[in-house]
Amino acid sequence: MLLERAADLTAKIAQYQKLKGAADESEQFHTRADQFVKVAERIARVRLGLEKLTGAGVDVGFEPSDGAAYSAKAKTLRAALQGNPAAINDPPFDLKHEFVDRLGGIATAADQAMADAWAAYVAKRAPFGSDDVLSALAVVPQFRASVAKIRRCRVDISVLGNGLPADPSAAVARMDALLKEHDAAWAELSADDIPASVVGFIRATAGAGAPLKGFTTEVQAWLAERNLLTAFRIRLG
């Protein structure tokens, strides 16, 4: 009887150890799978984001560092697992530090590159510069309505540039519309009792700048009378 119980206990211990080993191995598989899923999802999101920006006409110019090397590691690992799934517990390289973490670093760098590229795109298309001129024009009652429209467009465009949009194509279309509104508001800037030379000079400052020859004696006198001269700057080159 005692021998039978000892044999039974030995069998149970062996079964327990076998189950425990399987459980430990399963936990290791689960840990690795969780690591791979997370980094794979990040890489997929980055790739989709890059595709969307490129499709919207925004050049990111991002090139992952050692991308080919990590692709080769992924192929090596896949081949090893296909031959023996247990190889995940004895990989040919350090999975966390030499693969998963590095891929996460690439994703982080790509996210920053996309954000920078979008901000640069918005800044290039809407180089409004200082609002000094608008602040000065807002003092003139005849210009207040147009100035309010211009400022509203600038605020909306600034909001667009503050963060990477989920739909770059839609954001670009929205920017196109806002820039048209902005230009139209400047074009509408007029007043019957203000000299045409003054209105023309002010409108020109909204673009590349008014030529110095447009700063006539009449324009200078009108601006000086209203203390608006300091709102304008002479730019060389």
* Tens-binned pLDDT, residue by residue, of the chain (237 aa): 433 433 343 444 445 444 444 445 556 666 666 777 787 788 889 999 999 999 999 999 888 777 677 777 777 777 766 767 666 666 667 777 777 788 888 889 999 999 999 999 999 999 886 677 788 788 888 888 889 999 999 999 999 999 999 999 999 999 999 999 998 888 887 777 788 888 888 777 766 677 788 888 998 898 888 888 877 777 765
What integer pLDDT is reported at residue 69 of this predicted model? Answer: 73
How open is the CA angle 48-159-52, to the nearest 5 degrees? 15
Mark whether 135 and 171 lie in a shared domain.
yes
What integer pLDDT is reported at residue 83 of this predicted model? Answer: 67
Mark whether 225 and 170 lie in a shared domain.
yes
Mark whether 168 and 201 lie in a shared domain.
yes
Mark whether 112 and 154 lie in a shared domain.
no
Mark whether 56 and 38 lie in a shared domain.
yes
Residue 18 forms part of a structural domain: yes
Question: Which ranges of the chain would DSSP assign to H, the alpha helix?
Answer: 2-55, 67-83, 95, 101-125, 132-137, 144-161, 168-187, 196-204, 217-225
Mark whether 7 and 90 lie in a shared domain.
yes
Residue 236 forms part of a structural domain: no
What integer pLDDT is reported at residue 207 of this predicted model? Answer: 60
Boundary of a domain, candidates 124, 141, 160: 124
What integer pLDDT is reported at residue 2 of this predicted model? Answer: 36
What integer pLDDT is reported at residue 33 of this predicted model? Answer: 66
What integer pLDDT is reported at residue 157 of this predicted model? Answer: 95
Backbone phi, psi, residue 108, to 5°? -65, -45
d(CA 203, CA 197): 10
> Which residue from 135, 144, 122 is spatially nearest to 191, judged by alpha carbons?
144
Residue 68 forms part of a structural domain: yes
Mark whether 90 and 21 lie in a shared domain.
yes
Residue 76 forms part of a structural domain: yes
Residue 156 DSSP code: H
Q: Which domain holds residue 23?
A: 2-124
Mark whether 193 and 82 lie in a shared domain.
no
Residue 150 forms part of a structural domain: yes
Structure tokens at 187: 């074009």
Mark whether 111 and 170 lie in a shared domain.
no
Residue 197 forms part of a structural domain: yes
Residue type, 207: G
Mark whether 139 and 118 lie in a shared domain.
no
Domain count, the chain: 2
Boundary of a domain, candidates 100, 124, 148: 124
Mark whether 174 and 213 lie in a shared domain.
yes
Boundary of a domain, candidates 83, 101, 124: 124
Mark whether 115 and 137 lie in a shared domain.
no
87-104 residues labelled b (16+ CB within 10 A) or e (exposed): ebeebeeebeeebbebbb
Residue 237 forms part of a structural domain: no
Residue 119 forms part of a structural domain: yes
Structure tokens at 206: 């909204």
